[in-house]
Amino acid sequence: MIRVKICGLKTLADVQAVAAAGAAYAGFNFFPKSPRYVTPAQARELALEAPVGLAKVALVVDATDDLLDTLVETVPLDMLQLHGHESPERVAEVRARYGLPVMKVLGVAGEEDLAQILDHSVVADQLLIDAKAPKGAVLPGGNGVSFDWRLIAGRRWLRPWMLAGGLTPDNVAEAIRLTGASQVDVASGVESAPGQKDALRIAAFVRAAAEAAPKPKPAFVMPS
């Protein structure tokens, strides 16, 4: 089974679409410059509407303890997603301070970016392997760009991981087959405009990911 995270939900209709499609994670974005930004109070209202089984993830970028304190006090959360330049030490600190699972995002553009994944896999609960933001981009993520999936084909890490970066309903199956990912994350690829989620694209994305899951091999039967 492929677990899908839809990131940057802003409305109740978004949460309903994500739940109806059968996604596993709902991401709320607390980076103020993002078109997907929600306030802690807005995220609380949305999170309270999420059905049991839909994990609520807070995406933050180099967040201070003050911001994290507010989020954890305000929003019923299941996971923190650290999408900035957080060091392995900071990841460990956040984990210990809040007692929530932490997913660390690692940007990949080339072979030289793979070592950091190993460093973080010792401390994070999950890893999110995303495309590195293009030079000069305002957003550290959510830019709709992919990296060369062959860079991580067949690689394994110590922790569960997700693939992200430029995924769409049209390419997610190929991305899963090439990388062996069992979890995928998307923001812009299921939108009709920046920050505007599209329920049909969300459903198509989750369906395409599910169809790409490796099929269980039939049991071997001894010929008589």
Ligand X SMILES: O=C(O)c1ccccc1NCC(=O)[C@H](O)[C@H](O)COP(=O)(O)O
Nearer of residues 7 and 94 to ligand X, judged by Cβ: 7
Token output for 24: 């596993």
Q: At its nearest, how many Å lie between ligand X and the CB of residue 206?
A: 14
Q: What is the distance of C-alpha 167 from the center of its chain?
A: 11
| Residue with tokens 């103020």, as numbered in its chain | 32
Token output for 97: 């301070």
Please pick, among 62, 130, 170, 185, the residue that the annotation labels catalytic.
130
Nearer of residues 166 and 169 to ligand X, judged by Cβ: 166
Token output for 81: 């997603």
Handedness of CA 132, 138, 139, 142 (dihedral sign): negative
Site residues (CB under 6 A) for ligand X, limited to 82-141: 83, 130, 139-141
If one asks whether residue 34 binds ligand X (CB under 6 A), the answer comes out as yes
Q: At its nearest, how many Å lie between ligand X and the CB of residue 23?
A: 12
3-state secondary structure 11-30: CHHHHHHHHHHCCCEEEEEC
Q: At its nearest, how many Å lie between ligand X and the CB of residue 65?
A: 19
Considering CB under 6 A, how many residues would be counted as binding ligand X?
26
Nearer of residues 123 and 139 to ligand X, judged by Cβ: 139
Rule CB under 6 A: choose which of 132, 142, 201, 205 binds ligand X: 142
Based on the residue annotation, tell me whether 78 is a catalytic residue of this protein. no
If one asks whether residue 185 binds ligand X (CB under 6 A), the answer comes out as yes
| DSSP notation for 122-189 | TT-SEEEEEEPPPTT-S-SS-S-----GGGGTT---SS-EEEESS--TTTHHHHHHHH--SEEEESGG
Nearer of residues 60 and 123 to ligand X, judged by Cβ: 60
Q: Cα(186)–Cα(202) distance, rounded to whole angstroms?
A: 9
Dihedral class, residue 21 (left if φ above 0, else alpha if ψ from -120 to 50, else beta): alpha
Based on the residue annotation, tell me whether 125 is a catalytic residue of this protein. no
Q: At its nearest, how many Å lie between ligand X and the CB of residue 85?
A: 12
If one asks whether residue 143 binds ligand X (CB under 6 A), the answer comes out as yes
Token output for 154: 């067949």
If one asks whether residue 167 binds ligand X (CB under 6 A), the answer comes out as yes
Point out which residues bind ligand X (CB under 6 A): 7-8, 27, 29, 31, 34, 36, 59, 61, 83, 130, 139-144, 164-167, 185-189
